[in-house]
Every structure is written in C-alpha cells, then in structure tokens.
Amino acid sequence: MDSIRDSYVLSNGVKIPCLGYGTFRLPNDEHTTDLVKTAIDCGYRHIDTAFGYGNEEAVGKAIRECGLKREELFITSKLDNRDHGYENTMKEFEMTMNNLGTPYLDLYLIHWPKPLKYRDHWQEANAGTWKAFEELYRAGKIKAIGLSNFLEHHIEPLLDTAEIAPMVNQIELHPQYVQREIVQYCKDHRMIVEAWSPLIRGDINQPIIVEIAQKYKKTPAQVLLRWSIQHGFLPLPKSSSRERMMENADIFDFKLSDEDIEAMKVLEAGGRTGSHPDTAEF
C-alpha cells in the first residue's frame, strides 16, 4: 500500500480502500456531517458507520453533499444487536438505507455475534441474518457482506448454513491486543481483517510508541496505523480535526523495521480496551 487511495481486494473482487474513517460515538448532527465531508476532502474514500452508532443520517447527508459520485466512496454500516434474524434484518436494512439515502451499501456487517437479546439462540439468529445478507447481496443492494467482532467459534456455525462466505471481519486490533488466532483464521478463510480502535482508544503515548515515533519523525498515531497496514489490516481511525485526519493518512512514506515490531510486543500485556464478544452486556 502506497497511499490512502490504494485498496485491498475482497474475495469477490470488490476493492476496499486500505484506510477508513470511523464514526463511532459521533452524534447524529451537522457537526458529524461536516467531519465526514472533511475526511472525504482529505482523501478518505472509506467511511464506516453503524445503525447502533445512531449517526447514519448525518453520514448519509455528508455522502450526498460531498461533491463526489456515489461510486467513488466505500460505505460500510452494521446491523444493530436488537435486530438479528431474517425478518428483523430485512426491516433494519431498509431503515439503514433510508437513513443513509443511498441506493446500495458497499459493505454490511453483523455488528456483534452474541447480543444479550439472542444469547440463548445466537447461532439460529445469526443464520437467519446471514440468509438475509445473502439475499440482499444477490439483489445488488450490498456489494460485500461480512462480520464484526466474530471469533472462530462464532464463525464456524455460520459457515455450516452459509452459501456465501463472509468477506470481512472487523475486530478490535492494535499492538496491545493482537488476536493472532482469529487473524490467522480470517486469512485462511480469505477474509480481510479490519481494525477498530487501531489507536488504542487514544492511549498512544506509551514509551515504546513514542520512541519509535521519534525515530521516524512521525507521531505515535502514525506508528500505530503503520503497524496495522504492515500487518495487512485495514485500520479505521476516528478524528475530529482536519489536522489529525491528514496526519492519520500520512503513513505511507515510512516502514517499521522488524526490530520495531518486535519491540512493540511489550504492549501486548495491556490487552483489549473494549468488550469481549461472548460477554458484552448489550
């Protein structure tokens, strides 16, 4: 990858830009619309939202007002935890499309594998959801379908009934939480791995990260995003300023050494920052 405009290629041949702009916890207001438009102006072509974020309308307004053709953008959204199963998925997808005001989605993900509402029958609920995903994909309403926060033991039951394999898995991923087993599983099954919280939820000024950043005359955030890219991941950083957006995109003119990456393994003692998919209280 040599620039923010470069893309990975999904298993179905669809291109997905290698760096995305995340919108988690951004409100559903004009401010968010302006931030997404600013990100697009800074060169981002991949925007990640979710029904559960509550900001699809603001993101959709930015898509329509940014001045680019719809096909120049890659838009992801995710199914809410309250609406698993075939019928619920179909209904919520229409709501997402209305919120975004777009004729199609580039990528649609099941947000979490075992929501509280479906915890005693999550395999059945996911199978019904995936059937809906496959129908929407075949109808051309979604260009690619995938998962979020799924581990191996969540994916295997899905594959038992799936006719189309997932193309993406979006998981918490950064040097503090490397998830080697699920990453390798995804690679073995031709799934692109997207990294949420690639900047460790802002805990970036740890000594080893600062040291490596100084070595390359880069910022700690740039080191962390470069780590993702060099591992073949697709990071989804969020920022609320043009300066930081530009900084996050400026990660293609240096390369971390093997020694740097080895030294960063000290961070693994920190572990995850978010919920575990099996025990999340939502």
Task: Just list the catalytic residues.
Answer: 53
How far apart CA 124 and CA 232 sit, in angstroms, is 32
Contact 7, 229 (CB under 8 A): no
Which residue in 79, 59, 242, 206 sits closest to 227, CA to CA? 206
Instruction: Give the pairing of strands 7-9 and 15-17.
Output: antiparallel
Measured CA distances, 131 to 66, 87, 91, 277, 282 (Å):
34, 10, 14, 21, 23
Residue 4: closest CA among 41, 39, 45, 38: 45
Buried/exposed 140-157: b ≥16 CB within 10 Å, e otherwise = ebbbbbbbbbbbeebbee
Q: How far apart are CA 96 and CA 105, in angstroms?
A: 9
